[in-house]
Amino acid sequence: MALGVLLLLGVEGCSTATSTRARTPFSPGLTQTGRASWYGQPHHGRITASGERFDMHALTAAHPTLPFGTRLRVVNLSNDREIEVRVNDRGPWIRGRILDLSYAAARALHAVEAGVIPVRLIVLPGD
């Protein structure tokens, strides 16, 4: 019986650690600067980490820790173009990158050809 309680406590501790790690405390106005890439066709229609289907034509993005639904202003620091995206996936998984943009978001920022661009992210207030 004691072993069962320990196993239950161990499993509960793991799930708590996992859910905590997947979220970053944030507030409107928080900024982050780094490099962003984009993803499109091979992932179009697949299920994202948030459970919705990825639409490469929607203004969405993948961030490693911000909660799903977080709205971000993304500024391309190479040309000062900016757009608003909604976080609906996890990523990027390449070291040194802070955001994966959908194809539509990358196109709006003139980032498709470059592939990877310097960006500033600004967390926007929720609805």
Q: Where in the chain are the domains?
A: 26-123
Confidence of residue 20 (pLDDT cuts 50, 70, 90): very low
For the cut 90, the answer to whether the pLDDT of residue 1 exceeds it is no
Of the pLDDT bands very low, low, confident and very high (cuts 50, 70, 90), residue 25 is low
Q: Which amino acid is at 114?
A: A
Q: What is the pLDDT of residue 53?
A: 96
- Alpha carbon 69 to its chain centroid, in Å, reads 10
CATH classification of 26-123 is 2.40.40.10, yes or no? yes
pTM, to two decimals = 0.77
Which residue in the block uniquely carries the two structure tokens 């069962």?
Answer: 4
Looking at per-residue pLDDT, the higher value among 8 and 44 belongs to 44
Say which amino acid occupies 81. R
Residues 31-42: pLDDT tens digits? 999 999 999 888
**Residue 9 CB: number of other CB atoms within 10 A?**
10
3-class secondary structure, 29: coil
